[in-house]
Amino acid sequence: MASLGELQSEIERLRHEVQVLKDIEAIKQLKARYFHAVDCKLWDELADCFTEDAVTNYNNGRDHYEGRDAIMKFLKSTLDMPVLTMHHGHHPEITITSETTAVGRWALEDDIITLKNRGIHGAAFYQDEYVKVDGQWKIKSTGYDLVYREMWDRNETESLRILDRMHQPSTWEGR
């Protein structure tokens, strides 16, 4: 039979494991909000995902920005409507490094339709740092290294049309 001290130690170990799992889930939810806010152009919600002193290194570090305001200015200027995007984050590898810090790696797959009707498809790996601020996980640092990116001119296919898109009524008359 286990002693009282051993039982208390086991309970404390289990509490710690449950907290780690709760923190990992909260970080997954944070990254999901990040992708959703980017694709839906919910700029206030996206800004809330970052710490004020956050840093980004998108596109293999070519798009480096420091501070939430600079990051948001860049994201709005490159991704605002009518640019259409869909980002998919897969296979999270999250490590809790302390009660208030964590790191993560995500596989990214994204599709973009640009103002000039160019299609872009790519894959990358995000590297993130997270920090818990007032009980909420935030992105302290994020960026990705590209695996590949491909682009094509959607105008080359005469019949190619966008039938429906977010924030705009359907244009498809042939239903």
Domains of the chain by residue range: 4-156
Tens of pLDDT along 115-136? 888 999 999 999 999 999 999 9
**pLDDT over threshold 90, residue 165:** no
Alpha-carbon distances of 116 from 83, 104, 105, rounded to whole Å: 9, 34, 32
**The CATH number of the domain covering residues in 4-156:** 3.10.450.50
59 φ/ψ sector (left φ>0, alpha ψ -120 to 50, else beta): left
Task: Look at residue 169 in the predicted model and tell me its pLDDT.
Answer: 58
Q: What is the DSSP string of 105-127?
A: EEEEEEEEE-TT-EEEEEEEEEE
93 CB-near residues (< 8 Å, 6+ apart) = 104, 105, 106
